[in-house]
Each structure stands twice: as C-alpha cells, then as structure tokens.
Amino acid sequence: MINKKSLQRCLLIFSCAIGFVLPAIAQNSTFDFLLDDVGARAAALGGSFVSMQNDPNAIFYNPGAVGTLDQRSISVGYFKHLLDINSGYASFGTQVPGLGTIGAGVVYTNYGQFIQTGPEGENLGTFSAGEIAMGVDYSAELAEGLHYGIGAKFIYSSIAGYSSTGAALDFGIHYVALPNRIILGASLMNLGTQINPYVTTREQLPLDLKAGAALMPEHLPATIYIDFHRLNETQDNLIDHLRGYSIGVEFTTSPNLQLRGGYNNAERKDLQITDSADLAGFSLGFGITTGIYKFDYAFNSLGKIGALHRISLGLNI
C-alpha cells in the first residue's frame, strides 16, 4: 500500500515545478507542434492519455506513466495532415533492473515545399520547413502504485535556411488509486526555453499542465479517460479552465481488438467556424493485437476543414 509520506513527497516535488513556472507564463509560444497528439491510440481517445499505462507513447504525455511499462516496447507511427504536411514518431521504453524505466522518443513534422518570391513577385525557387523533437525519460516507482517521471528533450525547427533550437523538461506523476478501477495522472510538459531564436525575439515554449483520470467501471469491458489540458493558461474563472477537456473511451471487445472513441472540447472550439453542428473535435479508432505486434488506427474530424488519419505499429519484446 502507498504511504502518506511518499505521496506527499511526490506531490510536493510536482507542485514546486508548477509553482516555479506559472508566474512566467506568456500567451505567445513557439514549437507548437509539441502540442499535437502523438500516436493513433492517443488521437482516437481525443488526446486523453495522461493516465494511460503500459504504453511507450506515454513519453509524449506523462513521463511518470512510462514507469508502468511491464516489458520492452517500441512504437512507430505516421500522420498525414492537411495539404502537404506529414508527421511521424518513434518511441521506446524498457525497464532497467534496480534503476527504473527508461524511455526515448522522437517526433517530427515536415511542412512540405513552399514557393519563394522576391520583392516584385518573381519566382526564386522553393524552400521547405520542418521541426523535430528528441527526448529521453526516466521513471521510477516511489511507492506501490505511485510512479514519478522526468524527461528532457531537444527541439529543432527550420524554415528557408533559418533555424531555431530549444530545450525543455517534462515532469509527471501516475497513481493507481484503486487497482483495476481508478488511475490518476498529472504532468507538466515543455518547461524550457529557446536556445537560439529565429531572429532576435525569444518566445515561450507551449507549456502544458494537464491532469486526468482513467475510470474502469465494474462489469463493463471499457476504460473511460478524462483529461484537462492547458490548466496553466490564464482564464477568467474556474469553469473556463475546465472547458479544455477531452474524453476518450476504449472498449475491449476481445483480447485482440479494442474500439475507441473520443472528444476534445478545446479542439472543437478552435475549429468550429460556424454555429452549425459538425463533427469537429470527435475521433474514432481501433487497435488490433496479434502476438507481440499491435496496429492502431485513428480518424480525427476537423469539421468543415477536413479529417486526419493516423496509423501506429507497436512491438512488445
């Protein structure tokens, strides 16, 4: 059983990290690709992943959850965005006896080719733009059912011969409050700075304080994930803070098949361009497990703008 002293120590460390950074929050940020969902499973659940367990892609959401991996795991994926934008990722996690769990991940986005023009509109050829982030995580069990984690990452962005670099830290906790019933998670992601700005003005990184829970109702083969995102952003009242939520449901129809659905309220508000009802913010997907292999697919609606498709492949060894 987890003891009160261990829980208090973990919460104190996490609270200190939050308290250190909240007074310096700015509204404008760079490297916003760090806020994109990574992996088809997370995308199908509407981004509700902070309390996920036993998944190497937790490195992109909550480094504390990396410690719940029960075997060496690898995941890779591809994401076809709108226009010529493409993205992909790879993640890895393994237990190190006597030390804890180590995770590593990389995510990139390629924005395609653009036409470069001169002052008179003359064609000067083409240029490209892209971004990449590479990180490592360490997670360990502080007490039974309570994991903490910390991660570090390097970020690189380029466009038309110009570039910018950055570095950031991630913090997270993951707590099994009631085995097979309730799991809690919280993380502070992208706490860092630009090392080299594009020109002369430095911008804040897209800091994201999130918290959530995974609920497993009795006699129902499903897990309900509820997350609250960007809790660090300034809002007029508590209700506005809670409007940045996402909900995901994962049904285990058999040991080899999972069906998923999700809804992201903040994404819907950002994408809704008219008052008419549409499917912006909603997502669907499924996962197929065969032996040590796993295939995941996600469909995310952008409403009238279009839709996104993601695929992921996993391997447990």
Domain locations along the chain: 4-316
Out of 129-143, 171-185, 267-281, 287-301, least confident range: 267-281
Give the residue-averaged pLDDT of 173-187: 95
Out of 28-37, 93-102, 155-164, 249-258, least confident range: 28-37
Residues of the chain with pLDDT > 90, as a percent, come to 60
Q: Going by C-beta distance under 8 Å and a sequence separation of 6 or more, which residues neighbour residue 239?
A: none
Give the residue-averaged pLDDT of 32-44: 93
Give the residue-averaged pLDDT of 28-33: 79
Q: What pLDDT is recorded for position 247?
A: 97
Say how far residue 150 (Cα) sits from the centre of its chain: 15
Q: Which of 109-123, 136-150, 296-310 has the highest mean pLDDT?
A: 136-150
pLDDT one-digit tens code per residue, 186-217: 999 999 999 998 877 788 899 999 999 999 99
Give the residue-averaged pLDDT of 227-238: 82
* Contact predicate 272/278, CB 8 Å: yes
Q: What pLDDT is recorded for position 28?
A: 55
Give the residue-averaged pLDDT of 141-170: 93
* Contact predicate 153/135, CB 8 Å: yes
Q: What pLDDT is recorded for position 171?
A: 97
Q: In the structure, what pLDDT confidence band is assigned to residue 96 with cuts at 50, 70 and 90?
A: very high
* Contact predicate 190/168, CB 8 Å: yes
Phi-psi region of 35 (alpha: psi -120 to 50; beta: other; left: phi over 0): alpha
Q: What pLDDT is recorded for position 279?
A: 84
Give kind and range of the element (H or E) at residue 108.
Answer: strand 100-117
Q: Which of 30-39, 102-111, 239-248 has the highest mean pLDDT?
A: 102-111
Per the model's pLDDT, the better-predicted residue between 54 and 2 turns out to be 54
* Contact predicate 128/96, CB 8 Å: no
Q: What pLDDT is recorded for position 202?
A: 83
**CATH topology classification for 4-316:** Porin (2.40.160)
| Whether the predicted pLDDT of 39 surpasses 90 | yes
Q: What pLDDT is recorded for position 317?
A: 86
| Whether the predicted pLDDT of 149 surpasses 90 | yes
Per the model's pLDDT, the better-predicted residue between 138 and 202 turns out to be 138
Q: Going by C-beta distance under 8 Å and a sequence separation of 6 or more, which residues neighbour residue 142?
A: 6, 9, 10, 148
Instruction: Give pTM, 2 decimals.
Output: 0.86
